[in-house]
Chain A
Amino acid sequence: MNHLSLIVRTIVAWLVTLTIVFPLIWLFLTAFKTELQAIAVPPELIFTPTLENFHEVQARSDYLLYARNSLITSVLSTVIGLALAAPAAYSMAFFRTKKTKDLLMWMLSTKMMPAVGALVPVYVIAQTAGMLDSLTGLTIVFTLSNLPIMVWMLYSGFKEIPPDILEAARMDGAGVWGEFVHVIRPLATGTLASTGLLCLVLSWNEAFWALNLSSANAGTLATLIASYSSPEGLFWAKLSCASLMAIAPIIVLGWFSQKQLVQGLTFGAVK
């Protein structure tokens, strides 16, 4: 009985996953096609792959520079963001006051204004501060954009920790730091990891600010993608290739943080 349900579940899970991921698989295949093959009707599943798009992307854009900038801004904004958000979430989760909920709502409301409405004010500020086209400026913008989300997610994650464990630790004489290191962190690794991953991805994909606040030097992979979309002429193969090259680092990172996630998750389930 159990064996049958395992087989059924496996098949269903794989079918559903492949259906959902199909557009991405198509993107992957298209990156290895010529432009003519990419627009073929009916679509070609079997074709001779070519690396010409990768050559083109390499020759035309400084992929490594953009990747480096993306990496720096995303990682830094995630780290700084976690450093700012974790204590805040911690205090809000474990030292609740009447004002806590209002504070949380206010934090979230700072994100409610569509970025496009704030473009000119932020552009003018950035220009006055000399932060246009600088990695510092971008990192600051990314961090502040993602901070409310991180506080919310960490707060929610911290609240799932059963309070009796904390009580026990406190009674054992652990100070705040000890509490954090020995009790919270192991139990909340999953939340920390998923919050960090989310912030990383959000910064990685942040296109609006990256495009508008950078020019020659601080462009990220988002600007790389932008330079391949909708030119005059066939471009889907090249765009697929550029997208693949933009996603690749994150997928690799995601694969490795998978282990972290799993570790954190199994820890969480153990009593």
Chain B
Amino acid sequence: MNRLLPRLLFAPAVVSLFLWMIVPLVMTLYFSTVHYNLMQPGEKTFVGWENFAYFATDPDFAVSIVNTLVLLGSVIAITVVFGIALALLINEPFPGRGIVRVLLISPFFVMPTANALLWKHMMMNPIYGILAQVWIFFGSTPVDWLTDHPLFSVIVMVSWQWLPFACLIFITSLQSLDRDQMEAAGMDGANPLQKFWFLTLPHLGRSIAVVVMIEMIFLLSVFAEIYTTTGGGPGNESTNLAFLIFKQALMNFDVGVASAGALFAVILANIAAVFLIRMIGKNLDK
């Protein structure tokens, strides 16, 4: 009974995920080894490693991996740090806290394409964007965000969208913080910084792990924002791995090379995951 019950409980989830993963994965593995271009229907001839070689010898390949990791790391860092800060800020009650909470979560509801267009035209345009007006107000020339700092601009857009998510997780987690323990520590003479470092932060450990893992999954495949705003950036400055795959899949319609690229992305994701797990892994097992 003790062994059977847990198995029964997670069986449905595992089985459905298995099917969902296995079938496209197997197909992708198969496609990555054949020559399959939608525009050239015909026999799918086996080509071995050729698709992988082609994808990996793209001049933008190395840069795209770096950009992907930079995007990943920056957005995670920004959302975790500011997410915790915001959650702490609104942890204690104050007038209008309910409204503030809903407002803070709202950027997450905007669709990524709309988000990208909003930032590109209304905020970041160097002539009629809001940021340009602010810069002019303070007497300096507006920054051409998408031209001079394309990757940074994309990072800002994506962070803005994911900050609410991180904030929500941390707010939820903070609510289960042990108040008595905090008060006792205060009475023992601990200052706010010490209380934060030794009590709050470890408590938040697990939720930080959740945020990092989940964001990592989504951020690896960011490409709608890039496609809409910079088209890969001047040169390849804002090209990431997902954009390269997109180029192959939906511009070239080369399913073979796109599948190879997708497998590269999986490998990269696994490496990043192992690395991140090592950094915060202990929090998973507590």
| A/B touching: CB–CB < 8 A | yes
By a beta-carbon cutoff of 8 Å, the part of chain A in contact with chain B is 6, 9-10, 12-14, 16-17, 20-24, 26-27, 30, 39-43, 84-85, 87-88, 90-92, 95, 97, 101, 103-105, 107-122, 124-125, 143-144, 147-149, 151-153, 156-157, 159-160, 176, 190-191, 194, 197-198, 201, 204-205, 207-208, 221-222, 225-226, 229-230, 236, 239-240, 242-243, 246-247, 250-251, 254-255, 258, 261-262, 265-266, 268-269, 271
Q: Are B10 and A30 within 8 A (Cβ)?
A: no
**Does the CB pair B220–A114 fall under 8 Å?**
yes
Residues on the A chain within 8 Å of B169, using CB:
153, 194
| Most chain B CB inside 10 Å of its own CB: which residue of A87, A116, A119, A176 | A116
Q: List 19 A-B contacts (CB under 8 A).
A: A20-B163, A24-B106, A26-B130, A88-B10, A88-B14, A92-B6, A104-B284, A107-B13, A114-B220, A114-B221, A119-B250, A121-B28, A153-B210, A207-B224, A229-B228, A242-B114, A254-B102, A265-B171, A265-B175
* B172 adjacent to A265 (CB under 8 Å): yes
Return the 9 tightest CB-CB contacts between A and B, nearest first: A117-B262, A112-B269, A88-B10, A121-B27, A91-B6, A95-B6, A88-B13, A114-B221, A91-B9
Task: Please tell me if B16 contacts chain A, counting CB pairs below 8 Å.
Answer: yes
Shortest distance between the CB of A219 and any CB in chain B (Å): 14
Cβ of B172 and Cβ of A110 under 8 Å apart? no
The answer to whether A236 and B122 have CB atoms under 8 Å apart is yes
CB contacts (< 8 Å) of A225 on chain B: these are: 111, 113-114
Residues from chain A with a CB closer than 8 A to the CB of B160 are 20, 23
Tell whether, in the assembled complex, residue A236 and residue B13 are in contact, meaning their CB atoms are under 8 Å apart: no
Q: Which residue of A lies closest to B209 (CB)?
A: A156
- Cβ of B228 and Cβ of A14 under 8 Å apart? no
Asked if B39 is at the interface of the complex by the 8 Å CB criterion, the answer is no
From B17, B31, B207, B220, A148 is in contact (CB under 8 Å) with B17
Does B47 make an interface contact (CB < 8 A)?
A: no
State in angstroms the CA–CA spacing of A221 and B169 once bound together.
26
Q: A23 touching B249 by the CB < 8 A rule?
A: no
CA distance A10 to B150 in the complex (A): 35
Among A117, A147, A152, find the residue whose CB has the most chain B CB atoms closer than 10 A.
Answer: A117
* Chain A residues within 8 Å of B206, by CB: 156, 159-160
Report Cα–Cα, A251/B38, bound state, in Å: 41
Chain B contact patch, size range = 35 or more
**Interchain nearest-CB distance for A235 vs B (Å):** 9
Contact indicator A176/B5 (Cβ below 8 Å): yes
User: Is there an interface contact between A16 and B265, defined as CB atoms closer than 8 Å?
Assistant: no
The total of interchain contacts (Cβ-Cβ below 8 angstroms) comes to 275
| Residue from B23, B97, B128, B214 in contact with A43 in the complex, judged by beta carbons closer than 8 Å | B128
**Interface pair A191/B180, CB less than 8 Å apart:** no
Does the CB pair A114–B16 fall under 8 Å?
A: no
A173 to chain B, nearest CB (A): 16
A17, B103: Cβ atoms closer than 8 Å: yes
Q: How far is the CB of B156 from chain A (nearest CB, A)?
A: 11
* Known contacts A23-B118, A113-B262: A108-B217 contact under CB 8 Å: yes
* B168 on the A face (CB < 8 A): yes
Tell me whether A87 and B100 are in contact (CB under 8 A): no
Give the residue of B133, B223, B270 whose beta carbon is less than 8 angstroms from that of A42: B133
> Which of A17, A112, A222 interacts with B111 by CB under 8 Å?
A222
**Nearest CB in chain B: distance from A26 CB, A:** 6
Contact of B9 among A16, A90, A119, A148 (CB under 8 A): A90
Q: Please determine whether B100 and A13 come into contact, CB atoms closer than 8 angstroms.
A: yes
